[in-house]
Structure 1
């Protein structure tokens, strides 16, 4: 039986290894994809470190990787419209009666030479879109897109704050600008991401670790509140800092998976001002297709979003770089 390299996480033992496993075969309704690029996300780091676990089958062993692009390699029975060699990006979410199954968590992902997926998750990508950019559209781009468009329902002219300007937050800056939000404020403890946010379209950037952070942000807004805030980072304490700054009817959307609790210190203000704390996860299938078109037509630029490309065998090093913010990476990409 042919084998391949795969980055496997044993959620029962908490161990992660790149190891040899059997090459999977597609079943009915499935397609095998030869992986050309797979993104490394902070949620992958959290899975490896045990900060986040699968909601079901918590002791399972899985190949990680939920940001994947490649070419169709083999087609199972009952699949029409796809042929060997087709260039594709893979949506990571599969709708189920209990919610969604996530690639790299609930079923094997793309930190591997090949991955088998339901044919419905395939999204065609043009020849002009490099695999390294295409692979990060599912999640790094589509998650902030859906958080902004669907969950928070941002309107033109609303004051927006992005908390954490890494792989998701930096694309939120660009999408908020496309959506007409104004002003757009980036919040991150590291100077590199703050500078990057200003280059990508933020109107201001602040360090939340500074004692004057809240006063500076409030002054920049002209003593008005924040209409919509997005936590894409999950760093401790930021939700407590931003909640008092929300305007009446303001929304805090939390998309960064951290597993950390937070406290609503003034629940009376939350109720009286009808503010909202919203959880956000994932995206809709049409979002990835729409974003591929936006990138293709130059409305969204991902050329500077891939900080480095590493071989799959160096997955541990990619995780280390992302976890320690070594070089302030936006997205790291593994190539089998």
Structure 2
């Protein structure tokens, strides 16, 4: 969208090509990544003239394209992966993971803010009949991937010392719940809004802090037994919070940048950061297995995703949904468009 113009318009129903299906969209999430695409602070990796937004999508298969490899049927309820491999890079040609030029739905190719959307069959994840569409769409998948990947990378066993800090109310459910399921202790949530901190505690955080609190660093040290944070996750892409997190890492601790922002990253005391052997790790997206894991956990009642859904709006009111999220009208976590 070079012009930066956002609009709702009628377009022809797309036709699925080889290996693709046409999805009748039942629920499509609105998140801050969509807001940043509209305001221009987030750019597509693959330049396009126009794009249909929406990377958190669930629906039913409406029609089948030719040359499908799987046993798909019209009417199957599915969630869509938030992206797909390019099929062209060196890793894809050798059938290795990860793809070096992965594409993101609603960013690099058309997404699900529509009545119908095209999906490649390898991006489909079946969902059970009793799981609501708005809970099946892939909104916490990235958080799950970030938490599991970086805890595994650091080889932290359940109950290991140190803290886990998460910032970003849109992922409050993920930031508070998943570290507990992974055995992290303590779990610290950070947000400037009191209501968001209360939600984080309800979702399972051990402590919820205001980043403006002058005793912030002392509180982190107190709850971690004087050690500091082992892992700090930024889910919102806020430079000030990233710098704050860097200052509270323990020796050997790492900060994971899961929220997206084009703004520069700074570390105030580089000498201390190096002396502590601290790390900064980037993170983007999730793998197919994480969406499937979320669906299984939600379907079996192990994880309730409904508290993270703040409201539903008709597709025609997409601009209103963006306005509410951007301006925090009603303090929403996630809004869902329903065609």
- 1:72 is aligned to 2:61: yes
Matched with 1:133 is 135
| Equivalent in 21, 25, 35 of residue 35 of structure 1 | 25
* 3-state SS of paired residue (1:241): helix
| Cα distance in structure 2, aligned partners of 1:273 and 1:157 | 22
Q: Aligned pairs, how many?
A: 322
CA contact (8 A) 2:164 2:184 kept: no
Partner of 2:39: 49
Unaligned runs of 5+ residues in structure 1 are: 1-10
Provide the rounded CA distance (Å) in 2 between the counterparts of 1:157 and 1:247: 16
Q: Structure 1 CA distance, aligned partners of 2:61 and 2:49?
A: 27
2 CA distance for matches of 1:116 and 1:44?
19
Alpha-carbon contact 2:172-2:199 (below 8 Å) kept? no
Secondary structure at the aligned position of 2:7 is classed as: strand
Look up the SS of the partner of 1:257 in the other structure.
coil
- Of residues 265-274 and 35-44 in structure 1, the stretch that sits farther from structure 2 once superposed is 265-274
Q: Distance in 2 between matches of 1:187 and 1:284?
A: 26
Q: CA deviation at 1:266?
A: 2.2
Report the counterpart of residue 3 of structure 1 in structure 2.
Answer: none
Name the counterpart of 2:205: 202
Q: Distance in 2 between matches of 1:222 and 1:151?
A: 22
Q: Distance in 1 between matches of 2:46 and 2:74?
A: 33
Query: Does structure 2 retain, via aligned residues, the 8 Å contact 1:162–1:232?
Result: no
Give the conservation status (yes or no) of the 8 Å contact 2:145–2:290.
yes
Take 1:242 and 1:132, find their aligned partners in 2: how far apart are those partners?
32
Give 1:146's aligned residue.
145
Q: Which of 160, 163, 185 is residue 163 of structure 2 equivalent to?
A: 160
The CA distance in 2 between the partners of 1:88 and 1:41, in whole Å, is: 20
Distance 1:215 1:162 in 2: 14
| Secondary structure class of the residue paired with 2:178 | helix
TM-score, normalisation: structure 2: 0.92
Counterpart for residue 94 of structure 2: none
User: Shift in Å at residue 323 of structure 1?
Assistant: 1.1
Aligned ranges 1:56-95 → 2 under 5 Å: 56-57=46-47, 59-79=48-68, 80-95=70-85
Counterpart position of 1:256: 259
* Counterpart check, 1:236 vs 2:235: no
Separation of aligned partners in 1, 2:284 and 2:25: 24
Asked if the contact 2:163/2:187 (under 8 Å) is kept, the reply is yes
Q: Following TM superposition, by how much is the alpha carbon of 1:219 offset from its aligned partner in structure 2, in angstroms?
A: 2.7
1:41-73 superposed Cα distances (whole Å, 9 cap, x missing partner):
11001101111111221x521000000000000
Equivalent pair of 1:163/1:238 in contact (CA under 8 Å): no
1:249 CA drift (Å):
1.4
What's the counterpart of residue 26 of structure 1? 16
Measured after TM superposition, the shift of residue 26 of structure 1 is: 0.2
Larger strand proportion, structure 1 or 2? 1
C-alpha distance in 1 between matches for 2:327 and 2:287? 31
Tell me which residue corresponds to 1:171: 174
Contact 1:165–1:197 at 8 Å: present in 2 too? no
* CA deviation after TM superposition for structure 1 residue 169, in Å: 3.4
Tell me which residue corresponds to 2:307: 304
Q: Distance in 1 between matches of 2:27 and 2:202?
A: 26
Gap change, CA 1:222 and 1:160, over 3 Å in 2: closer
Equivalent position SS for 2:140: helix
For structure 2, the residue ranges without an aligned partner over 5 or more in a row are: 90-99
